[in-house]
Amino acid sequence: MRKIGLLILIILILSGQPAIAADIVSVKGESTYYDDGTHSRVECMRLALEQARVDALAKKFGTIVTQDILQADRIAGNREQNDFLALSATEVRGEWIADEGEPEYKFERDKDENLIVTCIVRGKASPISNESAQFDSSVLRNGTDARNADINFKDGDAMFLDFKGSQDGFLAVFLEDEQKNVFQLLPYVSDQRSRVPVQKGNRYVFFSPDHGQKGDIVDELILTAPYNVEYNRVYVLFSPKQFSSPVMDREPGALPHMKSDDFSKWLIRTRKNDSSMGVKAMNLIIAPTS
């Protein structure tokens, strides 16, 4: 018999877990990321930022540690063998809603010239509860099956979104780029509504003409990064209640857009007024093809 211990750290930044919107508070976190020479400067900054957000959430709301024991029987040689796998999960008890101001970075080098990045971040966060709507959502790359779920894209890849809600409700999707611009992806450009109605238990695939609802003019999405690696973030908002879109700049045939700071302020106000709204954020990496 073998015993294998495995520690898994689950980082919940904006995970679609529910929150008590009325308890949104200011938080501050700090973290230092030590690179091993395999990441770019921008990627090191992103990793330090994510760790700093987790630090802020853990200090304010604490953590939960759970453990599951899995047993697997297999044949090794001529004898049966039982393997036990202990899975420990550490989860922060809050979720990140929005940054307050720009993160602060400090850069150093170790003796091997590897980058050391220290990040201090301030933001708005909320404790996790059981109020907000539950849903499953993932980004799909170059295909509409669930097995196409991925966050690593190449220049020219197609992006789709998979969604299933636990109840009837309304959906909106936004994308934030490195230049601190936020674009509304759903509803589609031709749709005059501020959110998309969805039904309980139905699987939806968005940005695919083959999966469009009756009357939809589907926007197809191609992600580009021809010269340098880019980091984007997709926000999925779902609520059983109707909600209004933020005030955005709109040009004919283009995606509605606004600045990240304005989007964050709108999201905080909206969640304060709707404790049943669930939010999930997914980081995307888009790399040149060569």
Q: In terms of Cα–Cα distance, which of 224, 61, 57 is closest to 155? A: 224
Q: What is the DSSP string of 140-163?
A: EESSSSGGGB-SEEETT-EEEEEE
Look at residue 235 in the predicted model and tell me its pLDDT.
92
Separation of alpha carbons 92 and 13, rounded Å: 9
Residues in the chain where the model's pLDDT stays below 70: 1-22, 64-92, 129-131
Look at residue 264 in the predicted model and tell me its pLDDT.
86
What 3-state class would DSSP assign to 211?
Answer: helix
Separation of alpha carbons 35 and 114, rounded Å: 6
Look at residue 78 in the predicted model and tell me its pLDDT.
52
Please, is 88 exposed, middle or buried when counting C-beta atoms within 10 Å of its C-beta (0-12, 13-18, 19+)? middle
Look at residue 173 in the predicted model and tell me its pLDDT.
96
The distance in angstroms from the start CA to the end CA of the chain is 47
Look at residue 290 in the predicted model and tell me its pLDDT.
74
- What does the pLDDT look like over 3-17, one tens digit per residue? 333 322 333 333 444
Q: Are 257 and 182 in contact (CB under 8 A)?
A: yes
